[in-house]
Structure 1
Amino acid sequence: MEFSYDNYIKASPDERLNLFMSTLAITNRTPEYYINWEKVIRGTKKFELELNTLNYLIGKSDIYNESFNLFTKQPELIKTIPSLIASRDIVLDILSLDENYNMEFQQLDFKNINTENIKKYVDFCEDSGLLSFLKNNANRSLVDYVYGIEAGLDSNGRKNRSGTIMESILSKNVDKLCAQLDLEHKSQATASYIKKKWGITVPVDKSERRFDEVIYDYRSNNIWIIETNYYGGGGSKLKSVSGEFINLNNFINKSEQNIFFIWITDGKGWNTAKKPLSEAFEQIDYIFNLEMLKEDFLVNLFNIKKTNYKK
């Protein structure tokens, strides 16, 4: 089958599925995927003054007492410790073992500093190896060191960032589409927003659901609901995802108003969940991937349906 919008939209569900599967993207990772520099800079700048003060401890031979004296004089410096040990938590639950392996549980709050017990914080710095690092291994600015830590911690956000990138790709395509065809749209719109803005009631499966994109054609009073996601890896979640969007499509189809659903999804993970995806193709008319966006399937859809498409 020739890869074109007309052929795709007229094909049977099985034929559309096969074409969809044969054009899955190997990745959706734009350069912005790898690190969020704004977040890294924000996380470091927060304690820049305190970290520069802590440079005083680097290389100190009697670092335990130096730390105790410094923290006693400036207890606010203690707030930097979670950043220095690569922790997002600011209240730490800690298990300590003595020489006889007796266990003791304690909690250290690095936001509300207990100035009556500075020793506990210094002991933690010693037991965690932080003081040894400052004494023997730290040979540059602690601000630069925390930049590296923040960059490493930010990599943990890449999984969620994949979905954000899909939303960004969709948003750019919708901006282009609406500018070309004089349509209105809103990102992350709720059913209540749609009702207030355009006077159309969207039946939803979740009361506070936010749709990735909503497009409105004021000439025909049509509403288009668009959801997007990307799955580079497989798993049982993909079956539930298919079921969720089938249900959403069915809810939308219950409306007597002109409301339509588009699902834009991609990723090699769908190779592990072809059966639940095939069920979605049986019930959802418009399922596109990134290659189809690239080939203007979305624009073609609206060019044909924009003014006179009725249920």
Structure 2
Amino acid sequence: MPDPHSLSQDDVMHWPSHMGQGATRLCALDDGLLLGVTQGSLHRPTRIASEQPSCLVNLCFVVDGQLGAESESPLPSLRGGAGAAFAWFLPQARWTTELSQCHRLAALDLSVSREFVLAWAETWQLSLPNAWVSAVEGSDVPLIEVGGMPPAMLGHARLLVNQQGQTSMQRLRRESMVLELLSEYLFARVEAQRRTPASCKLAPIEIERALDAASRLANRLQDPPGVNEIAREVGLSGSRLKLAFSQIFGCGVYSYVKALRLEAARCALIEGQQVKAAALSVGYTRAGHFARHFRERFGIVPGRYGG
């Protein structure tokens, strides 16, 4: 990883042709904040080895495709598809990142110094998840967590992936979006912690399978399967999948799909699609039905939304 202070412009690392077509852009934002944006398509699975500096909390937000990471130490792996979010702080740990073969991969990597997290949380009076507190206060303890992005957060991450440009205003816009994404993530983790009784915690395999279900749903918005069908696909019972979605995302499976559809349509409108095309892209065939749901969620009719 390059020194953030040496990046006055985005540093673009293009993938070798044998991997596929794509690149990773690195952008140093505020002091102690480094953003990486990976986009492309992979011809074959690829493994990348790297060493994480001990002074940083590292986060990964998967927008499209599948990826995972494994440490040399005996800790659980981090893996998931669209909608998954990881965070880790492992002093002097070597990591192997596995990128799956896919037509479209998009992910955000965010490296944040402990000092930045503490100062930012104190300034804005933000609560930190329990798993973060010891790590960012200086204790050499592993912080590792796997979670999911609620639909609004996934939509935000998708828009951030496409933010480019080197003017002062464009970089300031990108920085503000990164800070908003970080605050959404911390809030989501604190809320998940609050609503999860100790007696009802999910097993790691259940979290992994629920995130797999969320990723599958994100890729099938035009004709999403029912709860029991998607539960069977990932190897959970319908009741455990509902519990997992409630704990991870704070909503039921149906509500998650509905919100995900509307967020995807919102992103499409921002990117310039016409209302009808945006509605059809997420499975709405009746304009009135789409307009009503869109207005209920965002407070504005779709025809007046977007750029």
TM bracket (short chain): under 0.3
More relative contact order in 1 or in 2 (CA 8 Å, sep 6+)?
1
The normalised TM-score by structure 1 is: 0.20
Instruction: Pick the structure with more strand per residue.
Output: 2
- Looking at CA atoms only, which structure, 1 or 2, has the larger radius of gyration? 1
Instruction: Pick the structure with more helix per residue.
Output: 1
